Amino acid sequence: MEMDTSPSSSVPSSASSDSIDLNFLPFLKREPKSEPASPERWPLPPPPPPPPAQAATAASTPMPATPELSAAAVMTPLQSLPPNPDEDALFAEYYRLASLYLSSAGTGVIVPSPTPEVAASAVVQPGSGNAAKKRRPRSSELVRVSSLSVRDQIYFRDLVRRARITFESLRGMLLRDDERAEALGLAGVAGFAAVDRRRVRADLRAAALMGDRDLWLNRDRRIVGPIPGISVGDAFFFRMELCVLGLHGQVQAGIDFVSAGQSSSGEPIATSIIVSGGYEDDDDRGDILVYTGHGGRDPNLHKHCVDQKLEGGNLALERSMAYGIEIRVIRAVKTRRSPIGKVYFYDGLYKVVDFWLDRGKSGFGVYKYKMLRIEGQEAMGSLNFRLAEQLKVNALTFRPTGYLSFDISMGRETMPVVLYNDVDDDRDPLLFEYLARPIFPSSAVQGKFGEGGGGCECTDNCSIGCYCAARNGSEFAYDKAGALLRGKPLVYECGPYCRCPPSCPNRVSQKGLMNRLEVFRSRETGWGVRSFDLIKAGTFICEFSGIVLTHQQSEIMSVNGDCLVRPSRFPPRWLDWGDVSDVYPEYVAPNNPAVADLKFSIDVSRARNVACYFSHSCSPNVFVQFVLFDHYNVSYPHLMIFAMENIPPLRELSIDYGMIDEWMGKLTM
DNA sequence: GCCGTTTCAAAGCC
DNA sequence: CGGCTTTGAAACGG
């Protein structure tokens, strides 16, 4: 592109073009900025030549570009179902009952579950129909989703969660298959399919499997603005996952946009960007972001070697600025708690307010885009991440008041559990004895320690084929990093009767907390729990502890109105974790080892642990997995809590206590 | 529709 | 553990 080297104003309007009607391009028409133009700034190049399609439209129709574009780009907001007054009354009643039930346990909010009718009415559906060998290209239809009802939000949240579980489960399966093939010595054996695939990344293979079955979300429509089911602050570990969900459709490129050919205006429109820190000219201050356009770099050296051009994503960002289209911003943050060393946070919507051609640090021309975060959104995931990191080391610097305890476990947990309340003067959690481990009735565990043949004889870490693996249906429940591969009726960990060392990977949940948790007070949910650490989906969080009561004891206690947690009441959410039936319809959830009908309960009225403060949700982010390791009485398993999603720092943990179905039955009778 | 180009990936290796 | 290399997938656009 030919550069205009004469000194001129730094605002785009200075480079006027007859073919663009400034009346309809407010951003191009604004007054020069008050701040003085930096001497580093280059004069702006002439604006992009209008694409033929737009020129034709402008010539043939007096109707200018902007309204037409808003019709095209803003398009059909989704309509939620009108609220059903009867249903609302029902949900109000749930809420009242839930409050009564939970007042003694100190937990939270009931959110109504979606009805099948709502699910059917949802507008953005995953692709359906026959498995297409060829993946469909992304379509050009632009949609902005607005004002979803609570039920729709939950519906989409579950839809997204299901896709993410499928993706992560497939990835885990493929990795494990690769390891098995390697362990069997198949590496290097010519013609063995698994070996050929071994070199292919599991995230890409998982995405391809889902693509073959039309399981990518939001392929039919290109969504401007928020993606239903994805919240500001959500965390992701793979770029490919962002593609699968439709949050960002480019595998590697940082700017995603609707291409010129697909846009109704004939111009590219940017929809999302990823700020990965790889461009030296970025200036990221959170709410204010100066983002560098792409291109102009040597593909190997990642250094600028030529001036960037106003094309592709660069042009699309400029067009989005002109039309006021909001941009989803995803930031990459380095962390050790990620399989790839970094995590992507969805940080919400921004608007491009300025762009200019600048001289980058390399000396070559780079396009820069000043973006401002739209106000009124949830806190940025990347900001919460940094804040939580600070709170771990300098608690009082950032929150000088509100701490009731820096460790309510008094050292009984492997990590401190903070108690924090800056809302009111409630100090209830201090009144209970902290019990890191449940106390089982002696009748339940007596003589059950060696039951089932005792432990394994492995002297090193356990491996496939060992006794404890056989107990778990010949596969270990956890991957190398300690994440649960898929939920089961019951997981057997190695225990005191095993010869393997404490470092054995089959001892995940007995090691205690691995995250820094905080019990906190909120106006919405009463007491709740959140983590300072990023929690990866499938990893262990904590145990549900208290005084374990036998069936008979439970009957007596419940008559007295005491606060009991009944394990059998938790819906079997573990069924979801590891479910790949969308890709493999023949998939059946593990039904082995069989688990008994659980009749015991846990009394948390006197002694309890952090788990007691989890809020209830019917769209939860954690679930209960039953585990045995110290005794082998299948009627009294441990209630271990695992993450069902990636849980970003400072987000409230929520669990499905399973009351809704019961009340639904009562209320509809 | 094919193919070349581009791309702020991810994993493996040293 | 960090930087380098290898091997990629998908979308755009000619």
CB of A243 nearer than 7 A to strand C: yes
pLDDT digit string, tens, across residues A45-95: 333 333 333 333 333 333 223 322 222 222 222 222 233 334 444 334 333
Distance A160 CA to C6 C1' (A): 33
Q: Is the pLDDT of residue A184 over 70?
A: no
d(CA A250, CA A72): 22
Contact positions of strand C to protein Cβ (< 7 A): 1, 5-13
pLDDT digit string, tens, across residues A619-659: 899 999 999 998 888 899 999 999 999 999 999 999 998 86
Distance A137 CA to B1 C1' (A): 13
Per-residue pLDDT averaged across A522-537, rounded?
93
Give pLDDT, residue A401: 93
Q: Is the pLDDT of residue A292 over 50?
A: yes
Per-residue pLDDT averaged across A488-504, rounded?
88
Per-residue pLDDT averaged across A270-281, rounded?
88
**Among A199-213, A480-494, A552-566, which is the least confidently predicted range?**
A552-566
Query: With b meaning 16 or more CB within 10 Å and e meaning fewer, what string describes A235-273?
Result: bbbbbbbbbbbbbbbbeebbbbbbebebbbbbbbbbbbb
Give pLDDT, residue A450: 60
Residues 211-240 of A with CB under 7 A from strand C: 211
pLDDT digit string, tens, across residues A377-429: 999 999 999 999 999 998 898 899 999 999 999 999 999 999 999 999 999 99
HEC sequence for A414-456: CCCEEEECCCCCCCHHHHCEECCCCECCHHHHCCCCCCCCCCC
* C-alpha closest to that of A498 among A454, A453, A452: A454
- The pTM score is 0.79
Label residue A497 by pLDDT band (50, 70, 90).
Answer: confident
Give the alpha-carbon dihedral of A614, A619, A621, A626, to 10 degrees: 80
What's the Rg (C-alpha) of chain A?
A: 28
pLDDT > 90 fraction of chain A, expressed in percent and rounded: 41
User: What is the phi/psi pair of residue A525, to 5°?
Assistant: -120, 15
d(CA A660, CA A112): 8
Per-residue pLDDT averaged across A498-518, rounded?
90
d(CA A527, CA A615): 8
Contact positions of strand B to protein Cβ (< 7 A): 6-11
Give pLDDT, residue A61: 30
pLDDT digit string, tens, across residues A88-129: 443 343 333 333 222 222 222 222 222 222 222 223 333 333
pLDDT digit string, tens, across residues A4-27: 333 333 333 333 332 222 222 222
Distance A208 CA to C8 C1' (A): 12
